């Protein structure tokens, strides 16, 4: 019941997965590196909003950026991020399945 610090850091990194836009970005970047403008075109919304989400993801260590002329290219820091994300999607899908089943049985 000591050193909760690791749980705080761990939760903080996981928080990066807890927003629809950020999930969409991770999904896209699973295919490789993309420029800011391409990501924005893909997700829609305001550039300032996207910029903030991306830099939060970089700060938490799940994305990296590099400059290429006047563009910025974003990528996942590791395939592990994509894998973790995919696992959670599978958990979601089976939960939805179970709910559907439960609904069918009560009718």
Partner DNA sequence: TATATAGTTTATATATTTGTGAACTAATAA
Partner DNA sequence: TTATTAGTTCACAAATATATAAACTATATA
| Residue 25 found at the interface with DNA (CB under 7 A) | no
Quick check: 1 binds DNA (CB under 7 A)?
Answer: no
Q: According to the binding rule CB under 7 A, does residue 67 interact with DNA?
A: yes
Nearest-angstrom CA–CA distance, 9 and 5:
6
**Calpha distance 17→81 (Å, rounded):** 9
Which H or E run contains 72?
strand 71-76
Q: Which two tokens stand for residue 3?
A: 């050193």
Residue 76 neighbours by CB distance under 10 Å: 21
How far apart, in whole angstroms, are the C-alpha atoms of residue 96 and residue 15?
Answer: 22
Q: Does 52 bind DNA (CB under 7 A)?
A: yes
Question: Which CB, 43 or 51, lies closer to its own copies?
Answer: 43
Residue 37 binds which one of its own copies, DNA, none, with CB within 5 to 8 A depending on kind?
DNA
The nearest distance, CB 66 to its own copies, in angstroms, is 14
Residues binding its own copies (CB under 8 A):
1, 4, 7-15, 17-24, 27, 42-44, 60-62, 77-78, 80-81, 83-85, 87-92, 94-96, 98
């Amino acid at each position: 019941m000591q050193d909760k610090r690791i749980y705080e850091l761990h939760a903080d990194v996981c928080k990066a997965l807890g927003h629809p836009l950020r999930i969409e970005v991770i999904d896209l970047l699973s295919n490789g590196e993309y420029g800011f403008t391409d990501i924005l075109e893909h997700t829609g919304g305001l550039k300032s909003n996207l910029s903030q989400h991306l830099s939060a993801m970089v700060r938490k260590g799940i994305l990296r950026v590099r400059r290429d002329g006047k563009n910025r290219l974003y990528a996942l820091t590791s395939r592990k991020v994509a894998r973790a994300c995919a696992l959670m999607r599978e958990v979601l899908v089976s939960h939805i399945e179970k709910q559907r089943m439960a609904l069918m049985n009560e009718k």
